[in-house]
Amino acid sequence: IETTIFYMDMRTHGKGFERYMNNATSSGVRLIRSRIHTIDRTDNDNLLVKYVDDKGEAQKEIFDLVVLSVGLRPSAEATELAARIGLKINTDGYIQTKQNSEVQTSKPGIYACGGITSPEDIKGSITQASAVVSEIMSFLKPSPFTKGSRYPSLKAVDTAPRILVAYHACNGMDPEVGQKVKKAASNMSGVVQVVQLGEDLLGDLRKKLRETKANRVVFACCSPELHKALVEEALRSSGLNPYLYETVDLRVVGGKNKGSQLQDRVQAGVAKATFLTPPPLREVEVFKQALVVGGGLAGMQSALSIAKSGYNVILVEKTERLGGHCNHVKTNWRGENTQEQLEKLIRTVDRNRKIKVLLNAEVKRNVGSPGHFSTTIKQADKEIEVLHGVTVLATGANPTKTTEYLYGKHRNVFTWAELSQKLLDDPSFFKNSKVGVFIQCVGSREPDRPYCSNFCCTFAVRTAIDLMEMNPEMQIYILYRDIRTFGLRESLYRQARENGVVFIKYETSSKPLVTAENGIDSLKVTATDHILNRPITIEPDFISLQTAIAPDGSAQIAEIFGVDLDEDGFFAESPEKLKPVESTRPGVFLAGLAHYPKDTGDSLTQANAAAAKAVEILRKDTIEIGGRVAEVRPEKCAVCCTCVRTCPFHIPYIDHDKGAAYIDPGLCQGCGMCVAECPGKAITMVTCSDEMLNDAPAFLLGIS
Ligand code: SF4
Ligand code: SF4
């Protein structure tokens, strides 16, 4: 299939999205910057697309299929409900949120998240949802957030399996799916009941376990991975080993033989559940203290949210002052005063008795597992040992310098961070300037840094508006590749154009040329006007270069905490789906620029989300480790290091005292890759032994 994307601005601004776009184009997807004005049906039932390309030329092409990427808006019912309960709605029709929290509505105690606050992707919505939990935790005490639930002691597992087959049918599923699951499982040996679960999965499952006295579960639904935690919670809170279950993915059933596929999958689930052996569980004490590394906006907000939930926090900052990059930012994208907000946050953190701030301090070593970490911190010439249950990494990132565009050679060529600082220190400079130029994507979206720095388009447009308000005589030019004022920030782009800011597009093949008389006097910028297709010359008083934001010391921190970096050197998210604030190591959470460049509002939201996840662990007195984890049989290990190289979470290591590989049950994610790869079959998955894999098919075939 030949695919073409017609676009106006390519807004691949989030973590990993620019790389995704580059992969698409290198796989042959055509991108055409254009404006489509008409789509006609042709005589042979194809579609004729008529558009104007970026040179202003009229073009037409024929396609078999056209997909319209339509805009998003909140549902009328949701907006109406919001208005009825007295929430402020912004001019785009979304719920208005507050300056210091992108999830707090205009009414105290009412929070909003997801598509009702702005157009959000899945990860953004999940992050906002966790941030809401954090906000609620800060005042809803003592339950349910301060104390972890207590589980009954584990019942001895009956040798005779009693299997509860539970399914959940989502909207849009085959209406007969329930009947089919029942038909497949009802008469199988060991099955005590086949039940449909309602929307309260946890409550329904617990009730059914109680009623049927089942000791194993087969859970069938369209996204079993997402619901595993609920099934485990239901089993554990019913006094059963939480790993005595199998899942059946109903989403993958399809095509011609979907009836028999469903039957096979359900019956295989029952067969495997029959031969499950309960894995041993071990309890470790949870140290009810958090370590937050990085005292910028995100680090401080995470620390404060955790402290407000009642837990002690050690906040480590490597410089002599809290605030990080926010110290140089005048306003946020909405034009609100960032410095006031920052000062208030620093004061609140300083006064909070539960937060201990260590300035001029650096992390040196870390060991342990979720709930049970020990970290060595160096401050001046002393080393401090800290025991903590969770870690939040908020170590920030730095604006890069450049050798392009006379940077470092001419006094009036600034990076965006320097311009921001100058706005705070010397506003009169801008009151006396007549022309300003902003050059976008300096060092971002280039082969060395093939990612978008995410917030610099919004920064340039916001600053242009502010400068023109400060000095209405000033003319501002923004030289860009794509304008990425995403979501609600689009209104700034509109406002800037209405205010007279001139936007000039450039290609990397013909970047703007910056010169200066005698190298240090009057600046001159030459660019090609993409509409007139001829060179234009601007004589600015100053130039702001929107240089890339790059990770700062992340490699060292990643090494110490055993977390992964992504291809761009930022902290990688957990490879498990939909865990946007979790690192690749359990119990270690991510916030702020160290995860990916973002503006202050998104940093605060992510910081609150990380705090909510951290408190999930801190509120428990003990943590059970073990379960679906891999275990090395030392006598069989040949110390070939295959598992060390294979594990995506970097868990196995060679224990030289034992002369064999070791897998920490508190850290193993149970993906099974090392089990499959170990050439000596020295690793087993406790719940999924080779014996079980042999016995289950025999059971299905009726062979004893
Ligand atoms: S892959 Fe197997 S044999 Fe090799 S080190 Fe790991 S456990 Fe030992
Ligand atoms: S099961 Fe997966 S997470 Fe656990 S040690 Fe093996 S490869 Fe790593």
**Domain ranges for the chain:** 4-63, 163-277, 289-396+552-623, 399-550, 627-701
d(CA 587, CA 610): 10
Please report, in angstroms and rounded to a whole number, the separation of the first and last CA atoms in the chain. 50
The one-letter amino acid at 7: Y
What is residue 195's predicted lDDT score, i.e. its pLDDT? Answer: 94
Are 105 and 87 spatial neighbours (Cβ–Cβ below 8 Å)? Answer: yes
Tokens at 209, concatenated = 């376990």
Name the one residue in this structure whose structure tokens are 């990085």: 294
- Please choose, from the candidates 676, 683, 677, the residue with its C-alpha nearest in 3D space to the C-alpha of residue 660: 683
Tokens at 503, concatenated = 């936007």
DSSP E strand boundaries for 557-629: 588-590, 622-626
Return the bridge partners of 166, or none: 195, 219
Choices 3.40.50.300, 3.20.20.70, 3.50.50.60, 3.40.50.2030: CATH for 399-550:
3.50.50.60
Atom 4 in ligand 1: residue holding the nearest Cα:
640
| ipTM topping 0.85 | no
Tokens at 467, concatenated = 């400068």
What is residue 224's predicted lDDT score, i.e. its pLDDT? Answer: 84
Are 387 and 406 spatial neighbours (Cβ–Cβ below 8 Å)? Answer: no
What is residue 500's predicted lDDT score, i.e. its pLDDT? Answer: 95
Question: Strand, helix or coil at 81?
Answer: helix
d(CA 349, CA 590): 19
What is residue 517's predicted lDDT score, i.e. its pLDDT? Answer: 85
What is residue 408's predicted lDDT score, i.e. its pLDDT? Answer: 94
d(CA 701, CA 467): 77
E strand or H helix at 220, and its extent? strand 216-221
4-63 is a CATH 3.50.50.60 domain: yes
> What is the C-alpha radius of gyration for the chain, rounded to an integer number of angstroms?
29
Q: What CATH number does the domain located at 627-701 have?
A: 3.30.70.20
Instruction: Look at strands 289-293 and 390-393 and give their pairing.
Output: parallel
What is residue 145's predicted lDDT score, i.e. its pLDDT? Answer: 54
- Dihedrals phi, psi of 401, to nearest 5 degrees: -95, 170
d(CA 209, CA 685): 26
Ligand 1 centroid to Cα of residue 679, in Å, is: 7
Q: Which string of b and e fits 220-243 if b means at least 16 CB within 10 Å?
A: bbbebeebbebbbbbbbbbebbbb
CATH topology of domain 289-396+552-623: FAD/NAD(P)-binding domain (3.50.50)
What is residue 375's predicted lDDT score, i.e. its pLDDT? Answer: 96
Domains 163-277 and 627-701 share a fold: no
Tokens at 184, concatenated = 């497949």
Atom of ligand 2 nearest to the CA of 670: 1
Return the bridge partners of 382, or none: 379
DSSP 235: H
Tokens at 127, concatenated = 């992050």
Residues lower than pLDDT 70 in the chain? 99, 141-149, 158, 575-577, 704
Q: Please name the residue ranges forming H helices in 352-455.
A: 416-425, 427-431
Order of strands, sheet of 312-316, starting from the edge strand that comes earlier in the sequence: 355-358, 312-316, 289-293, 390-393, 588-590
Which of 369, 563, 671 has most ligand 2 atoms within 8 Å of CB, for mutation?
671
Which of 640, 653, 673 has most ligand 1 atoms within 8 Å of CB, for mutation?
640
Atom of ligand 1 nearest to the CA of 641: 5
163-277 is a CATH 3.40.50.2300 domain: yes
Number of Cβ atoms within 10 Å of the Cβ of 492: 21
d(CA 587, CA 391): 6
- Would you say the CB of residue 536 lies under 6 angstroms from ligand 1? no
Atom 2 in ligand 1: residue holding the nearest Cα:
678
Are 416 and 459 spatial neighbours (Cβ–Cβ below 8 Å)? Answer: yes
Tokens at 584, concatenated = 């690749």
Ligand 1 centroid to Cα of residue 280, in Å, is: 22
